[in-house]
């Protein structure tokens, strides 16, 4: 079982930046695609970004592309989500997830999920 633990969420003003971290418990972390998803009250879970096991490939949701950057440090079993120029619509609970056999923006293709970290963007 892969355990994922997100951190870094907090309150931030519009235009600000945050870096979220996802720490994994598995020594085979480099074999997993890791994705970030977010969900706000009353809305469906939304794909944010994903990164392949080696970090070679990345994909972003259209609403965050050019503002967010996903990266990973396999030696430390960490994935990061650097978020810039944040807007109120970026608020929500951010989840990281790991997929064994997919590089996807579809949440159901991810096998393991963290509990999420809350991001609030407000003036």
Which residue carries 């990164």 as its tokens?
51
pLDDT band at 1 (very low <50, low <70, confident <90, very high): confident
Give the pLDDT confidence score for residue 22 in this predicted structure. 98
Closest CA to 70 of 46, 92, 52, 45: 52
Which tokens belong to 12? 């931030």
Per-residue pLDDT reduced to its tens digit, 24-60? 998 889 999 999 999 999 899 999 999 999 999 999 9
3-class SS of residue 43: coil
Give the pLDDT confidence score for residue 120 in this predicted structure. 98
């Amino acid at each position: 079982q892969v355990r994922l633990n997100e951190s870094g969420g907090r309150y931030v003003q519009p235009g600000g930046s945050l870096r979220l971290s996802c720490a994994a418990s598995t020594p085979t972390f480099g074999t997993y695609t890791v994705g970030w998803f977010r969900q706000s009250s009353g809305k469906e879970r939304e794909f944010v970004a994903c990164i392949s096991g080696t970090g070679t490939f990345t994909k972003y949701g259209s609403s965050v592309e050019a503002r967010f950057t996903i990266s990973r440090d396999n030696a430390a079993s960490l994935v990061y989500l650097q978020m810039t120029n944040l807007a109120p619509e970026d608020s929500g609970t951010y989840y990281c997830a790991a997929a064994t056999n997919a590089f996807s923006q579809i949440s159901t293709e991810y096998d393991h999920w963290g509990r999420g970290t809350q991001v609030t963007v407000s003036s």
